């Protein structure tokens, strides 16, 4: 083993892909407000002055998806052609149909006269947690998210008046042989701006108002490379500069490239889709294991088959950081947590309209947003049951 580098990126709320994620999740929330059992799968594409919304919905009521989309576009900050999109004048095309009956019969069905929920698709979902940050996220991922959150904040509150909605950040950190962060190697910040501001002003202002308030302290060194708008100019942005699509920032949405990803996107999907609910559950379990100090790093994987009530496989990897036998950890997890789709939805409160908030700055590590999958309420019980299991094993 030797020192190594880890790089993570995040994108601002106005990035074209994130714009699409937010529209898809905003429409999902709108349907959940009128029907908490709605089945929703919405995809959005943004190109130039056109937004295209398509998908499948089954709900007890209707939503004006065009109105929802325009409000989200406006709230993000796309209010004029200069920004790259005008919420008031853009073209919005829709093609929303009912859910396939072949899928529905696997998701909603009866067993012994009782209605049960089966997984809305097959797939492998991963959850990850590590103790190097207070919210159990990889350090590079956390810093990248905080940079774009700060970028959006100073744009919206007027601190930096020349900023426009599009932007992204990237952080590279050096780790030592014991997998602990040593120093930040480089920071990249790209921010869309108005045409009448100079490159020098952009760079000096963003260093002062965005980068230094977020990245400071022991990990920032004199030789840390800082790149601000590396091409020198970022005026054409948003859907005017790049086509956006729902589900194209799955690594930004999860752990910044640290840990595995099963490939399924989250946004626009109701909680019967295991791409979403099982990934949230895997994070919940992994985070509680690390918070209980059973391991300093943990990855939980769940594999489902479409229509399946329980996962086909539950796997826990602690990367050699476990403090007790991993077989004991696995047995405790199976005893304490239920991985049926219905119980995940119920336990993590996934019928609530809350998903628009998840669609920018990552779905994990957001401890002040009321997301149940970020709670560590099972950590103490995990510790207590572990102590009992270890005691029993000695006898």
331-372 pLDDT per residue, tens: 999 999 999 999 999 999 999 999 999 999 999 999 999 999
105 to each of 98, 102, 108, 215, 308, how far by Cα in Å? 13, 6, 6, 50, 11
Mean pLDDT, the chain cut into blocks of 10 residues (395 residues total): 93 98 98 96 97 96 97 97 93 90 56 59 92 96 98 97 98 94 96 96 97 88 94 94 96 95 95 95 98 97 86 94 91 93 95 97 95 97 85 61
Per-residue confidence (pLDDT) for residue 106, from 0 to 100: 54
**CA distances for 84 relative to 14, 73, 198, 242, 279, angstroms:** 10, 11, 19, 10, 33
Alpha-carbon Rg for the chain, nearest whole angstrom, is: 22
Residue 249 CA to residue 361 CA, distance in Å, equals: 11
CA distances from residue 146 to 9, 64, 179, 360 in whole angstroms, order as listed: 11, 33, 22, 11
pLDDT digits (tens, 9 = 90+) for 11-33: 999 999 999 999 999 999 999 99
Q: How many residues does the chain have?
A: 395
Q: What is the distance between the alpha carbons of residues 272 and 115, in angstroms, rounded to a whole number?
A: 14
Distance CA 272, CA 342 (A): 8
User: Which pTM value belongs to this model?
Assistant: 0.93
pLDDT at res. 307: 76
C-alpha–C-alpha distance, residues 166 and 151, integer Å: 10
53, 96 Cβ separation under 8 angstroms: yes
**Rounded Cα–Cα distance for residues 18 and 26 (Å):** 12
The pLDDT, as a whole number, for residue 394 is: 59
> What is the Cα–Cα distance from 348 to 375, expressed in whole angstroms?
9
């Amino acid at each position: 083993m030797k020192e190594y580098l880890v790089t993570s990126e995040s994108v601002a709320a106005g990035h074209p892909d994130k714009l699409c994620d937010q529209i898809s999740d905003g429409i999902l929330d709108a349907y959940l407000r009128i029907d908490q059992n709605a089945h929703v799968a919405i995809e959005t594409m943004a190109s130039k002055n056109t937004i295209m919304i398509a998908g499948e919905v089954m709900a007890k009521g209707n939503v004006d998806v065009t109105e929802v989309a325009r409000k989200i576009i406006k709230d993000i900050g796309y209010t004029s052609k200069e920004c790259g999109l005008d919420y008031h004048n853009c073209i919005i095309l829709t093609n929303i149909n009912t859910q396939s009956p072949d899928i529905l019969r696997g998701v909603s069905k009866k067993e012994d006269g009782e209605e049960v929920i089966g997984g809305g698709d097959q797939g492998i979902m991963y959850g990850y947690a590590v103790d190097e940050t207070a919210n159990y996220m990889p350090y590079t991922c956390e810093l990248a998210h905080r940079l774009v959150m700060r970028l959006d904040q100073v744009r919206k509150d007027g601190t930096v008046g020349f900023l426009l909605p599009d932007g992204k950040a990237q952080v590279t950190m050096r780790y030592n042989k014991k997998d602990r962060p040593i120093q930040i190697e480089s920071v990249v910040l790209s921010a869309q701006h108005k045409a009448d501001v100079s490159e020098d002003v952009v760079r000096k202002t963003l260093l002062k108002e965005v980068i230094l308030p977020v990245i400071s302290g022991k990990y920032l060194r004199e030789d840390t490379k800082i790149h601000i708008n590396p091409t020198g100019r970022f005026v054409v942005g948003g859907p005017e500069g790049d086509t956006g699509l729902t589900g194209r920032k799955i690594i930004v949405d999860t752990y910044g490239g640290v840990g595995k990803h099963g490939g399924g996107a989250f946004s626009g999907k109701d909680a019967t889709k295991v791409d979403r609910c099982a990934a949230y559950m895997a994070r919940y379990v992994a985070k509680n294991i690390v918070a209980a100090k059973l391991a300093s790093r943990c990855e939980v994987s769940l594999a489902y088959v479409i229509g399946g009530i329980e996962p086909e496989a539950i796997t826990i990897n602690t990367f050699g950081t476990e403090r007790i036998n991993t077989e004991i950890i696995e047995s405790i997890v199976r005893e304490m947590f239920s991985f049926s789709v219905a119980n995940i939805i119920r336990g993590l409160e996934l019928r609530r309209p809350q998903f628009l908030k998840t669609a920018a700055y990552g779905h994990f590590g957001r401890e002040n947003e009321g997301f149940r999958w970020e709670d560590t309420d099972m950590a103490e019980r995990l510790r207590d049951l572990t102590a009992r299991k270890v005691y029993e094993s000695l006898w």
